[in-house]
Amino acid sequence: MAGTFQELLTTLQAFWAEHGCVLWQPYNQQVGAGTMNPATFLRVLGPEPWRVAYLEPSVRPADARYGENPNRMGQHYQLQVVLKPDPGNPQELYLRSLQSVGIDPARHDLRFVEDNWEAPALGAWGVGWEVWLDGQEITQFTYFQQAGGLSLDPVSVEITYGLERILMALHGARHFGDIPWNPLFSYGDLNLQAEKEQSRYFFEVADIALLKRLFDQFEGEARAALSAGLVLPAYDYLLKCSHTFNLLDSRGAVGVTERAALFNRMRGLARRTAQAYLEQREALGHPWLDKAARHQPAPETAAPDGQPPRGPAPFLLEVGVEELPVGELERAMEQLQEATSQLLEQNRLAHGPIRTMGTPRRLVVWVEALAANQTDLRVVRRGPPTQAAFDPRGAPTAAALGFARSAGVAVEALTRQRLDGGEYVVAEIQQPGAPSREVLSRALPGLLASLRFEKSMRWNGAGVSFARPIRWLLALHGQALVPFSYAGLQSGRSTRGLRHCQPEAWALDDVQHYLASLEQQGILLDPAARRERISQQVRRLSEEVGGQVAEDPSLLEEVGHLVEAPTALRGAFEQSYLELPREVLVSVMKAHQRYFPIERQGKLLPYFIAVRNGGQEGLEQVARGNEQVIRARFADAAYFVERDRRQPLESFLPSLERLTFHAKLGSMLAKSRRVEKLTGRLATSLKLAPEQRKTALRAARLCKADLATRMVIDMTSLQGVMGREYALASGESAEVAQAIYEHYLPRQAGDAIPESRPGIALGLADRLDTLASLFGVGLQPSGTSDPYGLRRAALGLLQILIGADLPFDLKPALAQAGELLVPGKRRTAGSGARVSVRSLQKGLASCHAFLLAREQNLLLDRGHRHDVVEAVVAAQGHNPAGAARAAAELEACVRQEDWPEVLHAFARCARITRGESKTHTLTPKALADPASKALWVVLRKAERTRRRPGSVPDFLAAFRPMVPLVNRFFDEVLVHAKQASLRRNRLALLQRVVALAEGVADLSRLEGF
Amino acid sequence: MAGTFQELLTTLQAFWAEHGCVLWQPYNQQVGAGTMNPATFLRVLGPEPWRVAYLEPSVRPADARYGENPNRMGQHYQLQVVLKPDPGNPQELYLRSLQSVGIDPARHDLRFVEDNWEAPALGAWGVGWEVWLDGQEITQFTYFQQAGGLSLDPVSVEITYGLERILMALHGARHFGDIPWNPLFSYGDLNLQAEKEQSRYFFEVADIALLKRLFDQFEGEARAALSAGLVLPAYDYLLKCSHTFNLLDSRGAVGVTERAALFNRMRGLARRTAQAYLEQREALGHPWLDKAARHQPAPETAAPDGQPPRGPAPFLLEVGVEELPVGELERAMEQLQEATSQLLEQNRLAHGPIRTMGTPRRLVVWVEALAANQTDLRVVRRGPPTQAAFDPRGAPTAAALGFARSAGVAVEALTRQRLDGGEYVVAEIQQPGAPSREVLSRALPGLLASLRFEKSMRWNGAGVSFARPIRWLLALHGQALVPFSYAGLQSGRSTRGLRHCQPEAWALDDVQHYLASLEQQGILLDPAARRERISQQVRRLSEEVGGQVAEDPSLLEEVGHLVEAPTALRGAFEQSYLELPREVLVSVMKAHQRYFPIERQGKLLPYFIAVRNGGQEGLEQVARGNEQVIRARFADAAYFVERDRRQPLESFLPSLERLTFHAKLGSMLAKSRRVEKLTGRLATSLKLAPEQRKTALRAARLCKADLATRMVIDMTSLQGVMGREYALASGESAEVAQAIYEHYLPRQAGDAIPESRPGIALGLADRLDTLASLFGVGLQPSGTSDPYGLRRAALGLLQILIGADLPFDLKPALAQAGELLVPGKRRTAGSGARVSVRSLQKGLASCHAFLLAREQNLLLDRGHRHDVVEAVVAAQGHNPAGAARAAAELEACVRQEDWPEVLHAFARCARITRGESKTHTLTPKALADPASKALWVVLRKAERTRRRPGSVPDFLAAFRPMVPLVNRFFDEVLVHAKQASLRRNRLALLQRVVALAEGVADLSRLEGF
């Protein structure tokens, strides 16, 4: 076992050097990750092969913990490995490297858990996993897809080991400081003091104003270097920008929108740098291309064929993959079921039931009783017209003879048939079905190619995209191999088991042995079966400690999709952590670790249940590992909460001054002051009771304070939750605390909306300010990019209004928000914003349009007809609650039997008046003819009846009685009378009829109008 | 053999890990050397043990060469090893590490060449060597003495490998790019492009104004961190300062004085950081102290004793040391000769001739026929007074009996003796001499402790200082070991040979075998013998190619002191390099490499002669190695000169604007403009002919231009030399070129002074400006520190004036220089200086005093008597040439026989008039008495005689005739007559006599006055 840090490092380096990696060195800049070393960022670009391994001390100021957290620190050591192109078996190489340092996979729970890596500052992203060792993330494993905004071809495999965590696991160490560095010194001896000091520097000392200047200066120097065509010097300054950004971030000096702007600047540099590097290598003629040969894996050879079945036999397709993300697995199974069925249909392959199954590592299609051959086919082939086929004597002509020959039938077998209005000779050809194996060989590549994923990736030169790399293909029909190739692989008759079980792979001589052979290793192919097993185990384990696990189907589904052979285990943690807010504990357990929390009578117990992949072996060790993980995470949260609670919530407000909301819109403090003012105005327009108003204003004052707390800086998802928690701890009223929490609701689709009136007012004010201000400075979202989350803000606003069924007018509300942004007239000290009136007006108009468009989508998503939605939004979109109600009502109306008649009558009135540029004045006395008079009488009654604003039924109740009268009117009256006054009076009458629909729906948008 | 870079690195790291080193990592800052990694700079501080090894990519912008130089680059890789405390055998460990990577010391010339390392920015220095492999520097080996300005205890051994050079030597590679990094990639594949780009960035792109801002900003942040008590964050910013400084330097933007100021600021940070680290470790209780045990070397045990000689036998003391610097070796031998002689004398050890010999690795004292014992001693011991010793009957009293007993003689043997005016009984005691071995055992430690060195060092806990560490002691008298201990070592009977020869060490049973056993390995103990052998070999090797080597005794002496067993070898270099200026070639060969250049009829041949340590083995390989070294160095020079010559010398002037002379005094361009103006004025006062004046002014314009050339930026010692070279190449006249060259003369003590009048004028102007300007802004040197080299400037000024015997008045000259510094009145655009009149006047006054003090020292150094020097400097110090002449003259005078009489007579005149506050008017007619009259007659004649200004002989010729008259005057005349007018007239007469010495010497300062 590699007992010390330096042994671990040298052993892993030696391992990768043996596998052709260049041994490289940490970079001489402060970087956040090994990826930022040019040996990765630049070398993954372009076509040249590259393999490298190096250590990288990775500086992440925001992760610093003064050395107090067991495994989180401001600087940790990554061992970075890059394999370009994909060697075909990178996961296996990686696992072997772990074995080389003494980690026995059989005694641990080693898992590849979806984690798609992204470095927004570098315009880089990839697809891959965290590797978990007994619940502890020890490695990031990524197929690099883009860097500097450029697509990578070939794709690189990036393996990033977290060396401290590996050693902690190997030694069962409770703190990183305790792991040995060499025989004399511990890791803590060498690094703990630095960790403490740098933590203080990061959080307390670093000069924010200076850092902002430095960022600009470094950016400028990077640009200068790029202008001179210098790649590396430019990149160095980009790295300095990035580190400076990280420092600003750890000082809490970067707001959400400012963050997006700074990322954007860095990404721009990254793109130009990457482009320049590519051009440079191109100009050099890609000198390393010839270094590829030694990296190529040996091509797989196809297994020998077996005996095709003589009759119906089961067919099996197993697509072996690297660990699929949960969502993709579900999606792939659905598609496979459908596509397989179609494929068999189209290819005349008779079959029994089709079962689609899957685990993270395999997609399986099982077809019962698949016929040995296609069903035979009778084809009728058309020949020449009868006239031309036979001479006058009825004897076959040369044309007929030729046709018969080409169709492969005797001329005597030709028959006559009427086709397309003429008579032709036809040949009936009996096509015997091809063997199923042949058919499938041709069709299976198309089946796989037809699968679509949420996020696809490339990995090798075959040009294929898939959710994760395909590593083996198994296709058997009875005993016969169905040969095909896809994604650079040949199908075979081998399957693979759990990675650490013996045997790791085996060949099947008959498809019948497949399921049983997998079950021997505990692998359950059916997700439902896995869920059931997990449920049972979870129940048993929770009951053993007198508790239970609350239903959480989505967590259960996720966990079920993460393993092939589930085994649940229970871990414990220190009772003292239960003092942490419940949301924090649950959030850590579920979101981070996919653990099931155990509770009793609504209170958490100091236990959790994790589910490993595999059986009983080493289960105790796996449990201890998972406990260590949760301990570290809870310690982190406890550290934050404890520090945060030392001061009242209100005292965090000044820190918001440092947090830039957006450069043009001032700090987060300025924003929160605007929200406070706006809340006051909304409290008036929403008619809040005095006590509610007071609550709303106090909550508005405090609503953003938790953004400056350590817990929220670390886990942004806890914003509002911690605000509520800390507000209560600071002696605020329960109502204020609740409003603070609620103002973030709804946080995503399907989330609750605020229940309290203060919470609603505050939630609206916050979103109105966000929308008005960012639109006001011209930062509306583009088609694909919405860096400031304005879509979410708009949707939240609408969902609150609709959910609370609150009458509201968007336009004046936006205007109120806008007023607070313009400096001038009244002294709006501290508004922070500097927005010109002109830009604001333009912005508010486009914001209103943006809101209406979102409203339409929202209503469409509720299942309403497109025309219905258009009709109501056009008429009363400014009041979303009304529009939503009206949409439902109108939807009901248009389904009623007399609707076409009603609409027809209304349309007659509307169409004829549509061209009028003005509203004419009706003079009832001048209505001479009876039809007009009759219509007027009914109209007047309708107008006098009290209707609910925007109500469709009320409109219909008013208009329906007019339908016959309208029809009579048009039958008897010539609207366009020669006499102008007469004409105007008649038009005026109709305009009054049409006006009944105003503020309800624009019926002209409906189908059938 | 470690064939690739990564093998070399991993092998060396494994070697040092086995020897207890922590394996550490490159630092994540751009640093210039491994020393700057906190794993060295901080860890060498304080008492705690520490061993570490790590790679450090070392960024030295000024060394960048666009990848064109064979072995010089902007970034190279150091492997840094620190051993704290000294393990006792670090050189041996180091050499073993080389063997571990396949370097066979027997087949190479491995040398430890004095090189005392210093890092002024870090306040760090140490004593040690460059290690040469066949002439190539491959390692820096240092005993760290100070860091952050703090003395280190214990001392650390720092070993810094240059990995590229080692590999180039192993592969015989001609360019660093060609060495293999791993089996697939060369070093150049991975690093050459970076080298090219960074070179361009360093020299062409880096934004000077930005860098200056950054330096200030980083310094500020370092201070902030220090104020918060944060060591590492402060240190990080210090490193950023240092790198920023290096960038400024490579951009040629740091002048000499500015450099000193920036170093000073960095050193201040380094000191505070080091202090803070020490306090931190102290506060932690030095937790690593217990990690020391495993590092301690086993103590040496004394060898068994041999049989002491019975009669006279040779005595040998050999002090085995690590390679001594040339100067220290010479110094130590001189002292040993003297001190041994005294020691033997004082200890009554009879002996034959004493020979002192030495090589870099041993100091040897050989004493012929040293007696086996001390000479016996007869001691007379005083007893009681005779009266008390005998009773009246003459019988011995109890006192006498007791005395005899205590003296160990029979009472009858007591005799009587008169002592101190009384009579006492005395005992004559015969003390037999102690065995020489005993005496020497006691005395030898003192002998070694008495040695004094130019620069001493400490290395282990014994508290001893020496020029370099002592590693063994051999002391034999005949066959007997003379046991003693010193510097933590026990003396023994073993000596050691050349490091790579077998046997490496052997015991001597008899001292007689010593010399022969060393000579078997070719070791010549006598420096003269080594010089002679080298001379012969050099002659033969030069004649073989038809050339000869010019006499250079100091080079010969140096080379002779660098080896124990000299073997000369001849190397060749490309003919094309002969196109380089001769000074460049010679300077590179002699100063850098200690090679003998070969020439024929005054022209260099493309050969050189190097002297290796050791015999013939591998001589060819050693020669090839040396050739590669000189090739790289010449390539560098050729690169510079070629680039420099692309533009005329004058066109470098604008670059001087970037080069700060001193922040308060503007750029180097501004300085050179001031020098130009001042040269014009001096040309007038020195009465230069019109043509000379023109030459001087043109030379003044160009004199600093070469500071901006690459060749001079790289080798500052070539300033002036290259100026002349490039001036000629740019079509300037030979006179102008010569004046440019000459204005730097004299460069050091003993150097030539300018010969041409323009060269003199320019040399004076340059130094006057330097002195006036730096004193003018208050930057005079302090007692110990002279960062701006003002002592040298002053001495140069004086040496020129004295050497050229040029009448000159320092005061107005300084005033003229000062005028150019004050902005105002006349528009002195571009003077660059901003000096206040008040500060300037104060500065010029103290500058004048400073010059007079230097002048005194200079004259004292010429061997003049102290009083003589004071006398002439007091009278005519403002004119150094006159003062120098007068000093010699006066020195001659005071040796003449009649001098006391002359001085007496003059003193009588001088003393009586000394108290007069005014000069009285002489009325000759009122001189009534004959003595006065007679004196007046002679005085008048003397006053009318023409005398050379300041001439002592002329003064003497005038005064000597007056001596008898002066004496008569005082005999006959009462000067202080009652009548006031009479008294004043007599005083006036004497004042006139005294005035004869004005401007010649202040005779009152002479002894005997």
**Residue of A48, A186, A189, A197 for testing the chain B interface, max B β-carbons within 10 Å:** A197
- Counting one residue from chain A and one from chain B, the pairs whose CB atoms sit within 8 A come to 138
> How far is it, in rounded angstroms, from Cα A278 to Cα A804?
55
CB B197 to CB A233 under 8 A?
yes
Each as own residue / partner, the long-range contacts of residues A907-910 (CB below 8 Å, 24 or more positions apart, any chain) are A907/A1003, A907/A1004, A907/A1009, A908/A966, A908/A967, A908/A970, A909/A966, A909/A990, A909/A993, A909/A994, A910/A994, A910/A1003, A910/A1004, A910/A1009
From the list A28, A31, A207, the residue facing B221 with the nearest CB is: A207
Q: Which residues contact A182 (CB under 8 A, 6 or more apart)?
A: A4, A5, A6, B17, B22, B23
Q: Which residue of A lies nearest to B200 if distances are taken between CA atoms?
A: A230
Distance CA B5, CA B1 (A): 11
Cβ-defined contact of A228 to B201 (cutoff 8 Å): yes
> Are B31 and A28 in contact (CB < 8 Å)?
yes
Query: Residues of B with CB below 8 A from A294's CB?
Result: 184
User: Per the structure block, which two tokens stand in for A709?
Assistant: 């707390």
| Contact call for residues A541 and A609 (beta carbons, < 8 A) | yes
**The CA-based dihedral angle spanning residues B144, B146, B148, B154, taken in that order and rounded to the nearest 10 degrees:** 80
**Average per-residue pLDDT in chain B?**
91
- pLDDT surpasses 70 at A641: yes
- pLDDT tier, A252 (very low <50, low <70, confident <90, very high otherwise): confident
For B4-43, give the DSSP string. Answer: SHHHHHHHHHHHHHHTTPEE----SS-BSSGGGSHHHHTT
Q: What are phi and psi of A73, to 5 degrees?
A: -155, 160
Q: How close, in Å, is residue A152 to chain B by CA atoms?
A: 20
Would you call B230 and A205 a contact, using CB atoms and an 8 Å cutoff? yes
Residue A70 pLDDT grade (very low, low, confident, very high; cuts 50, 70, 90): confident
Closest CA to B891 of B869, B909, B919, B906: B869
Q: Looking at the complex, does the CB of residue A591 fall below 8 Å from at least one CB of chain B?
A: no
- The CA distance from B899 to B956, in Å, is 10
pLDDT for B69 equals 83
CB contact under 8 A, B205 and A189: no
Residue the block writes with tokens 């102690």: B434
Question: Which of A28, A50, A51, A190 to substitute to test the interface with B, most B CBs within 10 Å?
Answer: A28
Above 90 in pLDDT, residue A321? yes
CA distance A75 to A196: 11
Average pLDDT, stretch A922-931?
Answer: 89
Output DSSP code: residue B202.
I
Q: Which residues of B touch A280 (CB under 8 A)?
A: 193
**CA-to-CA distance for B30 and B28, rounded, in angstroms?**
7
Residue B206 in contact with partner chain A when CB distance is under 8 A = yes
Residue-level pLDDT at A295: 46
Alpha carbons B627 and B621: distance in angstroms, whole number = 10
**Would an 8 Å CB–CB cutoff place A268 in contact with chain B?**
no
Q: Does B294 touch chain A (CB under 8 A)?
A: yes
Per-residue model confidence (pLDDT) at position B639: 87
Task: Specify the range with the lowest mean pLDDT, choosing from A167-176, A650-659, A816-825, A842-851.
Answer: A816-825
Cα B742 from Cα B754, distance rounded (Å) = 5
Mean pLDDT, to the nearest integer, of A80-107? 93
- Best residue in B201, B278, B282 for a mutation probing chain A (most A CBs within 10 Å): B201
Statement: residue A296 has pLDDT above 90 = no
The pLDDT of residue B292 is: 65
In this prediction, residues A312-321 reach a mean pLDDT of 96
Residues 67-126 on B with a CB inside 8 Å of A are none
Task: Tell me the average pLDDT across B958-971.
Answer: 92
Position A294 scores a pLDDT of: 52
- A23 vs B185: CB contact, 8 Å cut-off? no
B828 pLDDT higher than 50:
no
| pLDDT band, residue B713 (cuts 50/70/90) | confident
Mean pLDDT, range B391-415, rounded to an integer: 88
- State CA A658 to chain mean position distance: 31
Query: What is the DSSP secondary structure assignment for residue B663, as one 8-state letter?
Result: T
Average pLDDT over residues A368-391: 90
Which tens digits make up the pLDDT trace of B185-206?
A: 999 999 999 999 999 999 999 9
Among A582-591, A896-905, B118-127, B825-834, which is the least confidently predicted range?
B825-834
Over residues B45-70, the pLDDT tens digits come to 999 999 999 999 999 999 998 998 88
Q: Which residues of B touch A24 (CB under 8 A)?
A: 190
Residue type, B792: R
- Of A902-916, B284-298, B831-845, B865-879, the poorest mean pLDDT is in B284-298
Q: How many residues does chain A have?
A: 1009
ipTM over 0.85? The verdict is: no
Give the E-state strand segments of B522-565 in sequence order.
none
pLDDT in tens, A812-862: 999 999 998 886 544 444 556 677 888 888 999 999 999 999 999 999 999
- pLDDT band for B1008, please (50, 70, 90 cuts): confident
Task: Work out the mean pLDDT of chain A and round it to a whole number.
Answer: 91
CA distance A29 to chain B (A): 5
For chain A positions 432-451, those within 8 Å of chain B (CB to CB) are: none
Of A432 and B23, more confident:
B23
- Read off φ and ψ for residue B55, nearest 5 degrees: -85, 145
How many Å lie between the alpha carbon of A649 and the closest alpha carbon of chain B?
27
CA distance B284 to chain A (A): 10
- Please tell me which of the candidates A213, A224, A287 has its beta carbon nearest to residue B207: A224
Q: Choose among B6, B28, B288: nearest Cβ to A57.
A: B28
Contact between A741 and A721 (Cβ < 8 Å): yes
Q: Chain A: nearest CA to B88, how far in angstroms? A: 20
> pLDDT at position B940, please?
93
Cβ–Cβ of A28/B26 closer than 8 Å?
A: yes
C-alpha angle B232/B233/B237, rounded to 5°? 110
**Residue pLDDT, tens place only, A600-638:** 998 999 999 999 999 998 899 999 999 988 988 898 899
Residues in chain B: 1009
Question: What CA–CA distance (Å, rounded) separates B211 from A997?
Answer: 71
What pLDDT does B2 receive?
65
CA distances to A305, A314, A368, A478, A904 from A310, rounded to whole Å, are 15, 12, 15, 9, 67
pLDDT band at B294 (very low <50, low <70, confident <90, very high): low
CA B335 to chain centre: 19
The yes-or-no verdict on residue B831 having pLDDT over 80 is no
Tokens standing for B32? 């210039």
Measured between alpha carbons, how far apart are the two ends of chain B, in Å? Answer: 80
Alpha-carbon distance B204 to nearest alpha carbon in chain A (angstroms): 9
pLDDT value at residue B557: 93
Confidence of residue B414 (pLDDT cuts 50, 70, 90): confident
Considering only the beta carbons, identify the residue of A9, A22, A230 that sits closest to B182.
A22
> CA separation (Å) from B383 to B232, B268, B396, B422?
73, 67, 12, 12
Q: What 3-state DSSP class applies to B270?
A: helix
B49's tokens: 């043990």
Mean pLDDT, range B839-845, rounded to an integer: 91
Query: Coil, strand, or helix at residue A949?
Result: coil
Q: CB-CB: which of B10, B29, B207 is closest to A28? A: B29
B13–A14 CB contact, under 8 Å? no
Q: Which residue does chain A place closest to B293, by CA atoms?
A: A184
Average pLDDT over every residue of A326-336: 94
- B663 at A interface, C-beta within 8 A: no
Which pLDDT band, with edges at 50, 70 and 90, does B829 fall under? very low
Q: Which two tokens stand for residue A249?
A: 């971030």
pLDDT digits (tens, 9 = 90+) for B763-780: 999 999 999 999 998 888
SS3 state of residue A589: helix
Quickly count: other Cβ atoms within 10 Å of residue A854's Cβ: 19
Binary contact (B214, A217; C-beta < 8 A) = yes
pLDDT of res. A394: 83
φ, ψ dihedrals at A283, nearest 5°: -65, -30
Q: Which of A728-737, B152-161, B170-179, B530-539 has the lowest mean pLDDT?
A: B170-179
Tell me which residues of chain B, numbers 24 to 63, contact chain A at a CB-CB cutoff of 8 Å: 24-31, 55, 57, 59
CB < 8 Å to B13, chain A: 10
Q: Is A213 on the interface with B (CB under 8 A)?
A: yes
CB-closest option in A9, A232, A284 to B194? A232
pLDDT digits (tens, 9 = 90+) for A514-571: 999 999 999 999 999 999 999 999 999 999 999 999 999 989 999 999 999 999 999 9
What pLDDT is recorded for position A431?
83
Q: Which residues of B touch A224 (CB under 8 A)?
A: 205, 207
Q: Which residues of chain A neighbour B214 with C-beta distances below 8 Å?
A: 214, 217
Query: Does the CB of A299 have a partner CB in chain B at under 8 Å?
Result: no
Q: What is the pLDDT of residue A578?
A: 94
Q: What is the pTM of this model?
A: 0.78
A 883-922 near B (Cβ less than 8 A) = none
A10-25 burial: b if 16+ Cβ within 10 Å, else e: bbbbebbbebbbbbbb
pLDDT at A791: 92
Q: For A264-294, how does the pLDDT look when each residue is reduced to its tens digit (9 = 90+)?
A: 999 999 999 999 999 999 999 999 998 865 5
In chain B, % of residues over pLDDT 90: 74
What are the pLDDT digits (tens) for B209-226? Answer: 999 999 999 999 999 999
Burial class (CB in 10 A: 0-12, 13-18, 19+), B722: buried
Average pLDDT over residues A482-499: 93
CB nearest to A23's CB, from B6, B28, B228: B6
Given pLDDT bands bounded at 50, 70 and 90, which one contains residue B411?
confident
| Better-predicted residue by pLDDT, B69 or B678 | B678
Could you write out the DSSP letters of every residue in B122-175? GTEEEEEEEEEETTEEEEEEEEEEEETTEEEEEEEEEEEEEHHHHHHHHHT-SS
Instruction: Determine contact: B289 vs chain A, CB below 8 A.
Output: no
